[in-house]
Structure 1
């Protein structure tokens, strides 16, 4: 994988990543690596991601992302940060040269470190030192001095494993929350919160409390965001019959899909597809 000059979209590692908007714009500008976590963290961490760029002599690049229902710990300059679920459009401006390493926690996974309702982190970016202590900054400097993404991920794993609560046991509520989010994202036939609650044998109220405590955002938001991810990805891949897609995704009509998409992305879907 290269850091610049590529003409092959797949070489960026971004092509096909759901939620990354206009991935073709990343060609020759950035690369993305995804690294699995240590086995001992697999119930809490979905994967690590390393983004690297070299834009020296080039114009800055603005990358937009429709976020997922996950909390991230990001080792970056000038200081590491914890990113709660972003309900809007996440935009990052890249210039010069650099890299960051992110830890994408599974839905519910960050609760083991935060120990409070994850809902408190929604739409917030906190200095990681407020959660993990000042040592996170030295760890971040060591990680960012490395070139190998696997070595960077291993250092992040070691840092997190040292900070797992000593009394921690597997949390069945966190596992249930992760399973519910996975169901909401994977099953396009689920269109209402009531259907998701019924699928997992809980009341709607229980479902909502669980999402507030472990995921941060509500189940309705997760279902809605999954539909927008699908719409954006379809727009990247092929000519779209937007009326038919609206029906496939459970919208009442095309105008409903257009309103939802425009409210978050800033463009109606047909315009987005032609940029």
Structure 2
């Protein structure tokens, strides 16, 4: 990444402020796994003598396998922000699957994971506590990534071409900031809206409408995270909103604050 440019937050709200309290790193999975997995992520912190800090994340349309003491599960995507308290000393290891990338492991609609986390023993040869010991006891992040590679490689399902198609659609939604309606996506890829919705229910877990909304609001938050002057009315139009009240309503529904409140929080952190 060119010097001076902020690295992608991938939904981590106010990443620049948060990294004063924790370290976030990402590691590539082995080449054989890369068809299914976006990356491994590791968050670590040592804040024993500091006030607790609440880190907020706008979800991506991805399944995550999260390795955390007593909380190790496979989580489906969500439509609302996730808030994690950073305090004391700790570490969390995660596997972020590509959109649609977990479906070949599960072989049932990803929507069934919404609000119903899955035990890791359903796809691995060990349960949550055993996986925590196998990963979190290692000394380096590279060792953790290599250990997860070894656990997942024997479980690889056949590659599903629909995963590639899903990622084409979602990359289009993510990169075209003025996309605001499902109809635009349907027309671009020549799919009937109902077929597109069924495909997302099966492979992604949330509707294309929600995927569009999450990326637009992530775009908005990342713009404000740069701590530069922002015309919120103009920003809402650039993100495909025809009126600012609709933008404010969506932003608050997902992020928990109005855009103005969020911008002020970023500036003060």
TM-score (normalizing by structure 1): 0.89
Task: Show the counterpart of 1:210.
Answer: 199
Distance 1:71 1:221 in 2: 15
Report the secondary structure of 1:40's partner residue. helix
List per-residue Cα deviations over 1:214-253 (Å, max 9, x = no partner). Answer: 0011111111111100111111212211111111111121
Q: In terms of mean alpha carbon deviation, does 110-119 or 170-179 score higher?
A: 170-179
CA distance 1:15–1:53, change in 2 (3 Å): farther
Task: Show the counterpart of 1:28.
Answer: 20
Distance 1:240 1:214 in 2: 36
Match status 1:80 vs 2:72: yes
Q: Which segments of 5 or more consecutive residues in structure 1 lack a partner in the other structure?
A: 1-9
Q: Which segments of 5 or more consecutive residues in structure 2 lack a partner in the other structure?
A: none
Task: Show the counterpart of 2:147.
Answer: 155
Report the secondary structure of 1:25's partner residue. helix
Report the secondary structure of 1:132's partner residue. coil
Match status 1:222 vs 2:211: yes
Q: How big is the alpha-carbon RMSD for the aligned residues of Structure 1 and Structure 2?
A: 1.8
Distance 2:35 2:122 in 1: 23
Task: Show the counterpart of 1:178.
Answer: 167
Query: Within 5 A, what are the aligned runs for 1:90-169?
Result: 90-132=82-124, 134-135=126-127, 137-165=129-157, 168=158
Distance 2:115 2:182 in 1: 22
Task: Show the counterpart of 2:263.
Answer: 273
Deviation at 1:132, TM superposition (A): 3.4
List per-residue Cα deviations over 1:40-68 (Å, max 9, x = no partner). Answer: 01110000001111111222221100010
Counterpart among 25, 50, 54 of residue 62 in structure 1: 54
TM-score (normalizing by structure 2): 0.91
CA distance 1:18–1:135, change in 2 (3 Å): closer
Runs of 4+ in 1 over 3 A off after TM superposition: 130-137
Aligned 8 A contact 1:15 1:24 in 2: no
Match status 1:254 vs 2:244: yes
List per-residue Cα deviations over 1:248-275 (Å, max 9, x = no partner). Answer: 1111211111111111112110111011
Aligned 8 A contact 1:129 1:135 in 2: yes
Distance 2:51 2:121 in 1: 32
List per-residue Cα deviations over 1:11-62 (Å, max 9, x = no partner). Answer: xxx9641311122432331101100110001110000001111111222221
Q: In terms of mean alpha carbon deviation, does 104-113 or 132-141 score higher?
A: 132-141
List per-residue Cα deviations over 1:74-127 (Å, max 9, x = no partner). Answer: 111024211110211101112211111100000010012111100111233333
